[in-house]
């Protein structure tokens, strides 16, 4: 198995850091830290310096809130993507959107990946990815409406549902003309799931990595981590990194995160333990 993001080819041992850049005033984690354009550009520079392999730019928070129309979403992300592309011509740029119209606008100015967090809510998004030779992230949400929270959702087998829906989405993307090497699947922790569901998905990530598609996981500071450890949003790093290490050992490929340096070190450690990366320094016992 191999996959492509922009012009970079990755194999089954890839463990990539996708840094989150929120162009929103009300994100659950940073509370608008990168809402101002210059703050967002500075954050891009920081995460690139810290070792991020790609960035994921979003103009709408996932949680319920003020209605954000297409025009407003575009105003938050399109010019910003163009500016990032100008400053970082080789950086892999993802945009977190479920809307085809927004996807087309950002791809036209340089986006490489369409990260559809809402499971194909706009069926034309795959056509946009095909038109622009962009990658697409195919998620599982259990059919919930974008920007709504799950309520007493049930599955006979949550991982079976994840596999069925993400593989169907991936096949639909390929049928629309998306390059098969530019398709990624995402079980979407917390989206359309309660904490028990997200924990089971984590335990069984290996069933997703056994498919032909690379797997993205978005674990960073999620509610299932907070509920597991009874920690508020600002105190979930340890739980996030533990979940990251498990997911990495089970073969997930792309990690959408807030804390870049810590995640990079966890992934490098797992890769080295697995024998897929040499240690950075090996002087112990030689001096």
Q: Is residue 49 part of a domain?
A: yes
Give the pLDDT band (50/70/90) at residue 29.
confident
Query: Which one is catalytic: 15, 61, 256, 264?
Result: 256
In a domain, 5, yes or no: no
Q: Specify if 280 maps to a domain.
A: no
The secondary structure of residue 28, as a DSSP letter, is T
CA 239 to the chain's CA centroid: 18
Q: By the 8 A CB rule, do 163 and 115 touch? A: no
Average pLDDT over residues 195-203: 98
| 222 given a catalytic annotation | yes
192's CB contacts (< 8 A; 6+ apart) are 119, 140, 141, 142, 143, 144, 150, 153
Average pLDDT, the chain: 97
Check which CATH number belongs to the domain holding 250 and give it.
3.20.20.20
In whole angstroms, what is the distance from residue 265 CA to residue 241 CA? 10
Asked whether the predicted pLDDT for residue 175 surpasses 90, the reply is yes
- Closest C-alpha among 230, 223, 274 to residue 12: 274
Q: Pairing relation of β-strands 254-257 and 54-58?
A: unpaired
pLDDT of residue 192: 97
Helix 195-203 × helix 237-249 angle, to 10°: 40
Over residues 257-279, the mean pLDDT reads: 98
Exactly one of 222, 236, 277, 284 is catalytic; name it: 222
Domain range spanning residue 169?
Answer: 13-273
Contacts of 154 (CB under 8 A, 6+ apart): none
Please give the Cα distance from 110 to 7 (Å, whole number): 13
17 assigned to some structural domain: yes
CB contact set of 27 (below 8 Å; sequence gap of 6+): 33, 61
Does residue 266 lie in a domain region? yes
- Identify the CA nearest to 193 among candidates 157, 164, 234, 238: 157
Residue 286 covered by a domain: no
Count structural domains, the chain: 1
Is residue 1 domain-resident? Answer: no
pLDDT in tens, 40-88: 999 999 999 999 999 999 999 998 988 999 999 999 999 999 999 999 9
Give me the residues paired with residue 96 across strands: 58, 115
pTM score, two decimals? 0.97
* Residue 53: partners with Cβ closer than 8 Å, 6 or more residues away: 5, 16, 17, 18, 92
Please check whether residue 182 lies inside any domain of the structure. Answer: yes
Q: What is the pLDDT of residues 102-134, one digit of tens each?
A: 999 999 999 999 999 999 999 999 999 999 999
193 is catalytic: no
């Amino acid at each position: 198995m191999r996959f492509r993001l922009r012009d970079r080819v990755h194999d089954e041992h890839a463990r990539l850091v996708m840094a989150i850049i929120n162009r929103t005033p009300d994100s659950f984690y940073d509370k608008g830290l990168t809402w101002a354009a210059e703050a967002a550009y500075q954050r891009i520079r920081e995460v690139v310096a810290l070792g991020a392999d790609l960035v994921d730019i979003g103009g709408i928070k996932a949680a319920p809130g003020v209605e954000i129309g297409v025009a407003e979403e575009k105003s938050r992300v399109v010019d910003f993507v163009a500016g990032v592309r100008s400053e970082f011509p080789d950086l892999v740029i993802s945009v977190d959107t479920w809307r085809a119209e927004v996807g087309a606008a950002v791809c036209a100015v340089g986006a490489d990946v369409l990260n559809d967090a809402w499971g194909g809510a706009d069926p034309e998004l795959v056509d946009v990815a095909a038109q622009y030779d962009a990658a697409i992230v195919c998620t599982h949400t259990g059919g919930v409406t974008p920007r709504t929270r799950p309520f007493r959702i049930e599955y006979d087998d949550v991982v079976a549902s994840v596999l069925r829906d993400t593989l169907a989405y991936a096949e639909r993307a390929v049928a629309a003309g998306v390059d098969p090497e530019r398709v990624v699947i995402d079980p979407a922790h917390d989206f359309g799931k309660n904490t028990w569901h997200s924990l089971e998905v984590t335990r069984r990530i290996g069933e997703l990595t056994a498919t032909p598609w690379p797997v993205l996981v978005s674990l960073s500071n999620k509610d299932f981590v907070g509920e597991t450890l009874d920690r508020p949003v600002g105190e979930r790093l340890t739980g996030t990194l533990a979940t990251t290490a498990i997911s990495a050992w089970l073969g997930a490929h792309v990690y959408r995160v807030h804390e870049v340096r810590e995640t990079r070190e966890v992934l490098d450690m797992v890769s080295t333990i697995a024998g897929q990366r040499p240690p950075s320094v090996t002087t112990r016992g030689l001096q």
